[in-house]
């Protein structure tokens, strides 16, 4: 009895210590463990706190989609747990037009995104758009889409329906299971390719 309690406590202490380590160290430790066991594992997803906008939509591509130069801008709020900060961009002076996109890839995201789309679709000034699995442009200010590759929904804000659509398509094309801001999962190489 004492032996099994000691083993359980040791495992819990080791797991707790690993959780406190940085994401890169955690990946290295898990990769080393997978190699030790002879398994071929890969990681799927990116921790929301570690998500980088350029991993989905590089700035030069954002500029091409929007048809103007942009500068990244700091987000003005802290997102809920499990959701990355929005990716904000400001156009050149004198207009200083702004665009942003944000992603929600939590487990409940596909259902939440679908419910938002149903709500928006029932309101005037909503137009269906072709982005990912499904998209809707609402009140000429926000475009919401459900991605076709990753279990996420995205939102694009900013002026100009054509610019919002181009940015949404860029984000949807760049968003894949391996770079989605979500709980990082360990999968075999064949699972990670899906």
Fold for 48-179, please state it. Answer: Protein Transport Mog1p; Chain A (3.40.1000)
> Which spans in 21-124 are helix H?
23-36, 59-66, 109-121
pLDDT of residue 24: 38
pLDDT of residue 45: 87
Averaged pLDDT, 142-161: 96
pLDDT band at 183 (very low <50, low <70, confident <90, very high): confident
CA separation, residue 71 to residues 9, 92, 94 (Å): 50, 8, 14
Q: 99 vs 29, which has greater pLDDT?
A: 99
> Which spans in 86-187 are helix H?
109-121, 161-174
Judge if the upstream peptide bond of residue 94 is cis by omega within 30 degrees of 0.
Answer: yes
The ranges assigned to domains in the chain are 1-39, 48-179
The model carries a pTM of: 0.75
């Amino acid at each position: 009895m004492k032996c099994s309690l000691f083993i359980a406590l040791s495992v819990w202490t080791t797991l707790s210590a690993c959780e406190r380590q940085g994401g890169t160290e955690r990946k290295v430790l898990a990769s080393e463990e997978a190699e030790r066991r002879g398994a071929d594992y890969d990681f799927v997803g990116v921790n929301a706190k570690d998500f980088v906008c350029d991993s989905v939509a590089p700035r030069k591509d954002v500029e091409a989609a929007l048809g103007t130069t942009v500068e990244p801008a700091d987000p003005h709020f802290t997102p809920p747990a499990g959701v990355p900060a929005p990716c904000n961009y400001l156009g050149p002076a004198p207009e200083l037009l702004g665009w942003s996109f944000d992603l929600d890839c939590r487990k409940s995201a596909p259902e939440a995104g679908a419910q938002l789309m149903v709500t928006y679709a029932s309101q005037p000034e909503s137009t269906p758009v072709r982005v990912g699995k499904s998209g809707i442009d609402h009140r000429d200010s926000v475009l919401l889409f459900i991605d076709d590759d990753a279990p996420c929904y995205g939102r694009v804000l900013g002026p100009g329906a054509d610019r919002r659509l181009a940015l949404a398509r860029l984000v949807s094309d760049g968003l894949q299971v391996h770079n989605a801001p979500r709980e990082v999962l360990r999968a075999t190489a064949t699972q990670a390719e899906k």
